[in-house]
Amino acid sequence: MTHPPVMSLRGITHSFGAVRALVDVDLDVHAHEVVAVVGDNGAGKSTLVAVLAGALVPDAGEVVVDGQEVLLRSPGLARQLGVATVFQDLALCEDLDVVENVFLGQELRRGPLLDEVAMEREAQRLLAQLAARVPSVRAPVSELSGGQRQAVAVARALVGEPRVLVLDEPTASLGVTQTAEVLNLVERVRDRGYGVVLVSQNMADVQAVADRVVVLRRGRVNGVFDGETASYEEIIAAITGVVPNRAGGAR
Amino acid sequence: MTVPVVDRAGLPVAARPDWRWRSGGERDLRSVPVLVSLVVLALVFQALNGAYLSADNLVNMTLQASTTGILTLGVVLVLMVGQIDLSVGAVSGLSAAIVAVGVVRAGWPLAVALVAAVLAGAALGAGYGWMFTRLGVPSFVITLVGLMVGVGLQMQVLAPTASLNLPYESALVRFSQESFLHPVASLAVVGAVVVGVTVAGLRDRRRRRAAELPAPSLAEIAARAGVLAVGLGLPVWYLNTSRGIGGMVAVFLGLVWVADVALRRTRWGRSVRAIGSNVESARRAGFAVRRVYLSAFTACAALAAVAGVLSAGRLAAANQGAGGADLTLTAIAAAVIGGTSLFGGRGSAWSAVLGVAVVHAIGSGLTLVNADGSLRYIVTGLVLALAVTVDALSRRSRLVGR
């Protein structure tokens, strides 16, 4: 990839009291690329997501978006700067329909009233882009499956054309079919030119879609692998810190 | 016929999900059980007493129902954000006392007394909102406190007497008791509503077709206009054979219309439903959650005050008993019977109309068949239990049906 990254993290460091959650973390995200962030429980994945989402300002380090150093001070600001995050719980409203959820908090208006026609059309376009099958855009989200809900949450994140999409454990609570659906979704988002950060604990998912795999261990980057060529064992070794059959187990 | 392969967004038509037109249809269906039960109630009571469906009785019913209805509308707003207000009756009693004392004892101009009463209600509501959003006290406790404080204030305002009569020539009394829309005017309003809804429907259809969205057919729009014309025109014509549409009734329906537009068509309404459905999601979506709660509590208490003022006019008096506890429960019952969920997120302003229609249909019917007053409480209570059960079951099936 010859283009500069759309987003770079440089030396991100953050502590909660005595706990060093992130130490000097670097991360580059390019357009048309899925970067997977993996790691064991407590490796710092959630903290990294919070930093990317603008929910947490790190103690040190810089975030560069499109060559500009920025401070992701709030989720709203992160969105404005083109970094959209889909949290693990999706943050949907069950009683509201698909269109209402896609535009939740960023409704389009005509004068003082909501512009339902424009929102429905745009929601339809976004979902078609994701090839998401939803029974009706006017169906309440409570009627949708887990995979369909993920699609709605991703469509919402794509409103306003972000540069980078951060997905936090998108398949954690899904079955086999729905997981496949969501992974297709991830690839489609990438193919449309977005940079995708996929935070996951599921190695199968990661190997299926990731172009690069960044391993976090105890808050540090413990290896960056090519998604195509890296073996399962190599990545697991980096996650657990055990070096497999090499140089007498030196760390 | 040529079939377009690519739509305007440049996407293959085949890739577009295939959904049908269903905007509004679902909402209409939800009110069917309530309408059916209204018809059943009407037939049963008409069989028991031939005067039940007379225009005179129906006019009385609409007048009684409109003050309860305004209270219910406020309760609907608070239920929609997933909270409750147990003090609406007390607030209405307090505002009635303020108007009566202001006009009769203090000699305020009526307009000043009205504004003072409604502001007092709104201030109480804002107080609930503040305590709820800033201190995190559960709304049922705050509003229970509000109920007791409200009743106490009502007594203090009225003291030393327990009741105070308003002069019959007061404009408030005249408005509440004697003002009716002119028959021609009332039918003109019906006509304007039908034309307005149809024109809006046609414009919406044009925009939807231009955006290549599923749109209602012309026949559907025409059918809707026809149903509306008959459904509004016939009752209005029938009521006009007696005294007609009361001024209070018009105020109630006007407030419902405003609330309906605000709930369905504005960002505020969207935030109300989002908060009632899932507060955390609404907060993360960027809605000003505290302000919305505050506005819902304030609007509810202000509407309760308006209801109190109008009922004082209707009785030409304010007394200690006005706005007793059963009024609050009736209003909450009506909101739930009309289809607003106790669990927040689901409901509509029109549920206030449907709900009070059922409650007052039962009340008036039992009065006409000379049933004991106690029976009215029991029956209304049982109907409330039924409505809440249906609400809880439908919620459970939604949560299980994931």
Q: How many CB pairs under 8 A join A and B?
A: 107
> What CATH number is attached to the domain comprising B93?
1.10.3470
How much is the average pLDDT of B139-162?
Answer: 92
Mean pLDDT of chain A: 89
Q: Report DSSP state, residue A249.
A: G
CB burial of residue B10 (10 Å; 0-12, 13-18, 19+): exposed
Q: Which two tokens stand for residue A3?
A: 């283009």
Tell me the per-residue pLDDT of B376-398, one tens digit each, with 9 for 90 and over. Answer: 888 888 888 888 888 888 877 76
Q: B341 to chain A, minimum CA–CA distance in Å? A: 11
Contact B277 A94 (CB under 8 A): yes
Asked which of B22-36, B97-111, B236-250 is least confident by mean pLDDT, the reply is B22-36
Both B145 and B102 in one domain: the answer is yes
Which amino acid does the sequence have at A1? M
Both B268 and B199 in one domain: the answer is no
Both B196 and B228 in one domain: the answer is yes
- Compare B402 and A16 and report the one with higher pLDDT: A16
Q: CA B327 to CA B377: how far, in whole Å?
A: 11
CB B19 within 8 A of CB A135: yes
Distances (CA, A) of B274 to A117, B100, B136, B260, B294: 20, 40, 19, 16, 15
Output the CA torsion sign for B68, B69, B75, B79: positive
B31 belongs to a structural domain: no
Both B152 and B274 in one domain: the answer is yes
How much is the average pLDDT of B57-61?
Answer: 95
CB burial of residue B211 (10 Å; 0-12, 13-18, 19+): middle
B330 belongs to a structural domain: yes
| Residue of A154, A143, A140 whose CA lies nearest to A102 | A154
**Cα angle: A49, vertex A53, A56; to 5 degrees:** 80
Both B146 and B158 in one domain: the answer is yes
Q: Which of A104, A117, A132 is nearest residue B207 as measured by Cβ atoms? A: A117
Asked which of A166-175, B75-84, B202-211, B309-318 is least confident by mean pLDDT, the reply is A166-175
Both B170 and B190 in one domain: the answer is no
pLDDT over 50 at B17, yes or no: no
pLDDT over 70 at B263, yes or no: yes
Range of the domain at B389: 50-178+246-395
Last residue of some domain: B191, B220, B242?
B242
Q: Which two tokens stand for residue A214?
A: 């960044």
pLDDT over 70 at B25, yes or no: no
Both B277 and B148 in one domain: the answer is yes
Tell me the per-residue pLDDT of A200-229, one tens digit each, with 9 for 90 and over. Answer: 988 888 989 999 999 999 999 999 999 888
pLDDT over 60 at B28, yes or no: no
pLDDT over 70 at A150, yes or no: yes
Chain A residues with CB under 8 Å of B345 CB are 93-96
- The pLDDT value given to residue B29: 63
Contact A114 B267 (CB under 8 A): yes
In angstroms, how far is CA B263 from the centroid of its own chain?
A: 12
B125 belongs to a structural domain: yes
B134 belongs to a structural domain: yes
Q: Which of B267, B276, B398 is nearest residue A142 as measured by Cβ atoms? A: B398
Q: CA A12 to CA A3: how far, in whole Å?
A: 23
DSSP, collapsed to helix, strand or coil, labels residue A136 as coil
- The pLDDT value given to residue A132: 82
Tell me the per-residue pLDDT of A52-101, one tens digit each, with 9 for 90 and over. Answer: 988 899 999 999 998 889 998 888 888 888 999 998 889 999 999 999 99
Contact B285 A105 (CB under 8 A): yes
Chain B residues with CB under 8 Å of A129 CB are 11
| Residue of B326, B339, B341, B340 whose CA lies nearest to B380 | B326
B274 belongs to a structural domain: yes
- The pLDDT value given to residue B399: 62
CB burial of residue B90 (10 Å; 0-12, 13-18, 19+): buried
Q: Which residue has the tokens 């046609």?
A: B202
| Residue of A125, A124, A153, A119 whose CA lies nearest to A136 | A124
- Percent share of chain B, pLDDT over 70: 91
Both B220 and B255 in one domain: the answer is no
B30 belongs to a structural domain: no
Q: How far is it between the farthest Cα atoms of chain A?
A: 71
Contact B282 A104 (CB under 8 A): yes
Last residue of some domain: B199, B223, B242?
B242
- The pLDDT value given to residue B3: 37
Tell me the per-residue pLDDT of B360-373, one tens digit each, with 9 for 90 and over. Answer: 999 999 999 888 87
Q: Which of B16, B274, B401 is nearest residue A93 as measured by Cβ atoms? A: B274
- The pLDDT value given to residue A245: 52
Q: CA B347 to CA B344: how far, in whole Å?
A: 8
Q: A154 to chain B, minimum CA–CA distance in Å? A: 14
Chain A residues with CB under 8 Å of B285 CB are 91, 104-106
Q: How many domains is chain B partitioned into structurally?
A: 2
Both B224 and B326 in one domain: the answer is no
How much is the average pLDDT of B137-145?
Answer: 94
CB A35 within 8 A of CB A197: yes
Q: Which domains does chain A have, with CATH numbers?
A: 7-92+163-249 (3.40.50.300)
Contact B19 A138 (CB under 8 A): yes
B107 belongs to a structural domain: yes
Last residue of some domain: B192, B219, B242?
B242
- The pLDDT value given to residue A165: 94
B400 belongs to a structural domain: no
Q: A117 to chain B, minimum CA–CA distance in Å? A: 6
Q: Is the ipTM of this complex over 0.90?
A: no
Both B174 and B200 in one domain: the answer is no
- The pLDDT value given to residue B24: 47
Both B57 and B97 in one domain: the answer is yes
Both B117 and B206 in one domain: the answer is no
Chain B residues with CB under 8 Å of A120 CB are 208, 211, 213
